[in-house]
Structure 1
C-alpha cells in the first residue's frame, strides 16, 4: 500500500463513482457549514473560524486518511474542550484567544502524528465503552448548558456546572429576551422534528436560513436578538500561531486530552462504516492523517477537529464512495467563504445554539447505559463515576478520571482473576465449575482447579491464598492439587518462582502439584526455571485433564515423562517424550 492513501485510490478512481461522491459532498457541506459555525461559537471563537477549520483539514485528511467515508471537521466534544481549556487562560472574543485556539490545533496535530509514527494507536483501547458512554452523556449536558445563555439572550458564566448555569439563568429571569427565546426554542423544536420525520432533509441549513430571513425581515436584531454580524470574506491565510513557550507547556495536557478524545471519536465512527462496507481502518495511519489535518487547520486559523458521527452518517447515506466527497465538501466551503459570507450577517446566535443543542442531544446514551447496567454492574459503576466526574470536575478532568478508573478496574480484575474448582460431569470426560454445575463430581483426595488469566506478579499472592483455601475447605484429606492451565497464556518470572514455591510448600505437607494443558509459552518459562523437568520426572504434567484425573484416581505410579539425559532435542521440545510439544 502506498505511504499516501490518495496515491492508491485516486489513480484507480472509477468515473462511475463521480456522481455519487459529488452528491454526497454537496449534501455533507449543507450540514457542515451551519454546524461548523455553531461549534466555533461553542469553542468561544467567531463563527468564521469554524469554516476555516472545515477547509484545510478536509483536504489533508482526504489525502492521508484510510477511511473512505469519515467526514472530519469541527465537532462538539473538541469545541467544548477548547472552550474549557483556552477560556481558562484567555478572554473569549480577543485575538489572543483565537491565536491560542489555533496553536492548540497545531499541538493536537503534533501529538497525534507523533503517536501515529510511534505506532501508539492502541492507546485508544484504554477508552472503554463505559468511560466513553458516561463521558459523552455528561459532555452533552455541559454543551447544552453552555448554550442556554444564547437561547435566553442573557450573559451566563462559562462553567461545566450545569446546575449553576440553570440557577444563574433563573436569577436573570427579568432580563430574558423573549424574541431570542422564540427564535431559539422554535429552531430546536424544528430541528428535532425534521430529524425524526425526514432524517435526510438538510434541517440545519433550512432552520438557519429561515431564522436568518426572520431576523432580517422582522427586524428582530433591533428587538434584542443577537446576530453574527459582519463575517470577513475570503480564504484564510497560512500563518504559524505565535504564543509564549511557557503557555505551550501549559497547553500540553489539554492538547494530549483532545488528541486522545478526538482520535477515539474518529476511529469509532470510521470503524462503524468500514465494517459495513468491508474495508479496514488502520489506527496508526489514522493518527497521522488526523494529526496533519489538525496542523493544517491550526495554520489556517482553525482549531482542533475530529471525525463527526452525524456528518459521516449523512455522507454515507448520500452515497459517498471515496474521500473525493470530502474534496467536494471543501470546495463548497471555499465558495461559501469567497461569495456567501455576507448572507451570515443576520444569522441569529440562538439558531446556531439550536443546531448545537439538537446535535448533542443524540450523545446522551441512555440506551447504552441501560445495556451496560444489564450486562455488567461493575462497568455501569465505571460509567456513573465518569459521568459524575465529568459534570463535577469538567470535561478535561472527567475523561482522565474515567481512564484512570478503567485502568484501575482492569488491574483489580487481573490481580483477582476468575478461579474455579472443577468436577467431572457424570458419564463424560468434561470437567466444569462445581459452583455453576452442582452435579459435577469431585474425586476424593484430588482438587482440580482452573485459573482463567495470565499468571504474573500481580496475582501470585491471590493464587497461593486461593489454593490454600480450597485445601482447607476440602471434605477429605487432599493428596493432589491439579492445576488446569489452559487459560494461562503468559507467565512471568515472579509467577514461575511462585509456582516453584507452591510446589515445595505442598510437598512439605504431603500434597503433590500436578499441571495439565500447559501452553507452549508457559511451558518455555517453566523449563527455564527447571520446574518443568522436575514435575515431568515425577509424571506430574499432562496434556489431558481427563487423563491426569484417571491416573490419579487409579492410584497407579505416576509415569516418568523426563527425556533421557542425551536427548538431542531442543529444550522446549524435550520434556514429556514429545507429547508436551503442543502449543
Structure 2
C-alpha cells in the first residue's frame, strides 16, 4: 500500500514538475556539455539581465534576481529542455510603460508596484494553465508579434539615445524623445559618446569574429576596465555606482486600489505576450531537437517562475531567445544547463558586484541598442507585404502603434484589429457553387474550374464556416440571392454540410427560415453530408426536419441521385 501511494505521489509530482524525474535520473555523460552550455548562458544572461533591468527602470542587480530563481523553477516545471527564461526586451518595455506613470518618480513605490505587477502576471499564467488556455499561444499572430518586436526594438533604440550621448531626454514617446535629442544634440558629451562607440565596436568585433562567444559580456568587461583604468567619472561619464551584494531586502507588493485598473489588465497583457514569445522560442527549438512541448504546462511554468521572481524582488520574465540559442549552440543537452547558469549568476551576485560599480551607464545603453538591433526584423515584416497585404497592414499598425501610442495601447489596437478581421472572415466566409466535370464523378468549384458545369435545376452550395449567430442571417440571404441570380430556374438547393463544422440555435433557425422561404418559391432545400450529426444538432435546438421540410442525404452523390429521380419523375 505504501509503495502504491509513493508511486502515485511520484506520478502526480512529475505531472506538475516534468523536469524533476529527468534531473533525478540525470546522465553523468551529459555533465561536461551541460556545464559548458550553462556557463555560456550565464555569460550572456549577466550583461543582458543588467541592461534589461535598467530598461525596465530597476537597479542593475534586479536583473540578476530576475534570472536566477526563475531559471531554476522553469527547469523543474517547464516542458522544454532547451528554453532559458529571464528578462526580455518586450516585457521590460511594457513594465516601464505601465509603472512610470503610476510611480510618479517614487523609486520605492515603483519597485513595490513592479512586484505586484509580476505577481499578477504569474497568477494570470497559472489561471490560464488551470483552464487549459494554452491555445492562446496562437492568439497573437506572427504579423502582430513581428510588428510588436520591431516597434519595441525601435523604441528601445530611441530610448537609449540619451544614455549613449550623456543627455537627459524629455518626451513621453519616441517622437518626443527624438525631438528632445534634436534640441539638445549640441550639448552631447563627446567622452560619453566615445565610451558608447567603444562598447559597440568591441561587441560587434567579438560577435563577428567569434559568433558563439558572449559578445555582450566581453564588451561590458572591456568598458568596465576602461572606466576603472581612466576613472571616467572625472570626465562626466555616469557609472552604475554601488550595487548591493547578496540577497535583496524583502519588499512587499504595493496594491493601491486606484492602481488596480492599470495593473490588472497590464498583467494580463504581460502574461499573454511573455507566453506567446516563450512558445515561439520553445516550439522552434523543440522541433529542431525532435520533441514536443505542452502549452498548458508552459503557462504553468511561466506562472510559477513569475511568482518566484516577484518573491525574490525581481520583475516579470519570459522565454529568452538569445540565451536559448546560446544553450542550443553550446550543445546543452538537459535542464541542468539552467541550474548551472543560475549558480554562476549567484556566484557573481555574491562576489563580484563591486566590479559592476565601474560599469558606465552609456555602455549598458550601447548593449541595449545592440540587442535591439538584433531583435529587429524589418525585412521579415516587409515580406508579409508580398504574401498577405492584410496581415502586413496589421503588423505595420502594431509597429506604428507601439511607437506613437505606447507598447500596451499599440498591442491592444493590433489585437483588436486582428479580432475584427477574424470576425469579418467568419461572419462573411468564402462560399462556392459546385458543379460537375465532363468525364469525372467528382464535384468542383465553378469559379476555379472553367470546364465545370452546374447541374440544370440544381444549386450545390458550400459554406466554409460554422453556421452560428453572427453569420446565420448572411447564410440565409446569400442562398436566396444566389437562387434569384441563377441563369436558369433552380428546383433544388443542396447545402454541402461537410464544410459546416457546427450549428448553433440561431443557425438552426436560419436553416428553417431558409427552407420555408425556398418552399414558397417551389424550391427544395437539402443537406448533404453529416446527416446524423446535423439532424441531431437541429433537434437539440428544437428545430426538426419535419417542421421545415428539410431533406437530408448522406453525401452529395446521394442528393444528386434523389434530385434526378424526383425531377425526372416530375418532368
TM-score range, shorter chain: over 0.9
Question: Are the counterparts in 2 of residues 62 and 326 from structure 1 also a CA contact under 8 Å?
Answer: yes
Q: Which residue of 1 aligns with 2:65?
A: 52
Separation in 2, partners of 1:558, 1:357 = 79
Separation in 2, partners of 1:549, 1:197 = 70
Question: Are the counterparts in 1 of residues 23 and 335 from structure 2 also a CA contact under 8 Å?
Answer: no
Q: Which residue of 1 aligns with 2:387?
A: 375
Q: Secondary structure at the match of 1:222?
A: helix
Q: How does 1:137-216 map to 2 (within 5 A)?
A: 137-157=150-170, 159=172, 161-216=173-228
Q: Which residue of 1 aligns with 2:454?
A: 442
Q: Which residue of 2 aligns with 1:134?
A: 147
Separation in 2, partners of 1:339, 1:520 = 72
Deviation at 1:510, TM superposition (A): 0.8
Q: Secondary structure at the match of 2:24?
A: coil
Q: Which residue of 2 aligns with 1:401?
A: 413
Q: 1:150 to 1:92 in 2, by over 3 A?
A: farther
Q: Which residue of 1 aligns with 2:484?
A: 472
Q: Secondary structure at the match of 1:448?
A: strand
Q: How does 1:31-46 map to 2 (within 5 A)?
A: 31-46=44-59
1:413 aligns to 2:416 (yes or no): no
Deviation at 1:547, TM superposition (A): 3.9
Q: Which residue of 2 aligns with 1:433?
A: 445
Q: 1:255 to 1:526 in 2, by over 3 A?
A: closer
Q: 1:467 to 1:193 in 2, by over 3 A?
A: farther
Separation in 2, partners of 1:287, 1:23 = 29
Q: How many residues align?
A: 556
Q: Secondary structure at the match of 1:236?
A: coil
Question: Are the counterparts in 2 of residues 489 and 519 from structure 1 also a CA contact under 8 Å?
Answer: no
Question: Are the counterparts in 1 of residues 531 and 554 from structure 2 also a CA contact under 8 Å?
Answer: no
1:531-551 C-alpha deviation (Å, 9 max, x unpaired): 44678x98x432232343344
1:252-292 C-alpha deviation (Å, 9 max, x unpaired): 22222212111111122111111222222222222222112
Deviation at 1:527, TM superposition (A): 4.1
Identify unmatched segments of 5+ residues in structure 2.
1-10
Q: 1:364 to 1:254 in 2, by over 3 A?
A: same
TM-score, normalised by the number of residues in structure 1: 0.90
Question: Are the counterparts in 1 of residues 134 and 296 from structure 2 also a CA contact under 8 Å?
Answer: yes
Q: 1:556 to 1:174 in 2, by over 3 A?
A: closer
1:28 aligns to 2:41 (yes or no): yes
Q: 1:532 to 1:207 in 2, by over 3 A?
A: same
The 10-residue stretch of structure 1 (196-205 or 44-53) with the greater mean CA deviation from structure 2: 196-205
Question: Are the counterparts in 1 of residues 531 and 552 from structure 2 also a CA contact under 8 Å?
Answer: no
Deviation at 1:238, TM superposition (A): 4.7
Given the alignment, which residue of 56, 61, 64 partners 2:77?
64
Question: Are the counterparts in 2 of residues 45 and 93 from structure 1 also a CA contact under 8 Å?
Answer: no
1:75-132 C-alpha deviation (Å, 9 max, x unpaired): 1111111111111122457222222222322222122222222322233332122211
Q: 1:558 to 1:461 in 2, by over 3 A?
A: farther
1:318-367 C-alpha deviation (Å, 9 max, x unpaired): 11222211111111111101111111121111111122111122332323
TM-score, normalised by the number of residues in structure 2: 0.92
Q: Secondary structure at the match of 1:172?
A: helix
Question: Are the counterparts in 1 of residues 492 and 526 from structure 2 also a CA contact under 8 Å?
Answer: yes
Q: Which residue of 2 aligns with 1:352?
A: 364
Separation in 1, partners of 2:367, 2:498 = 54
Question: Are the counterparts in 1 of residues 112 and 252 from structure 2 also a CA contact under 8 Å?
Answer: no
Q: 1:530 to 1:296 in 2, by over 3 A?
A: closer
1:543 aligns to 2:568 (yes or no): no
Q: 1:212 to 1:183 in 2, by over 3 A?
A: same
Q: Which residue of 2 aligns with 1:330?
A: 342
Task: Report which of the two has the higher share of helix.
Answer: 2
Q: Secondary structure at the match of 1:423?
A: strand
Q: Which residue of 1 aligns with 2:243?
A: 231
Given the alignment, which residue of 88, 104, 111 partners 1:98?
111
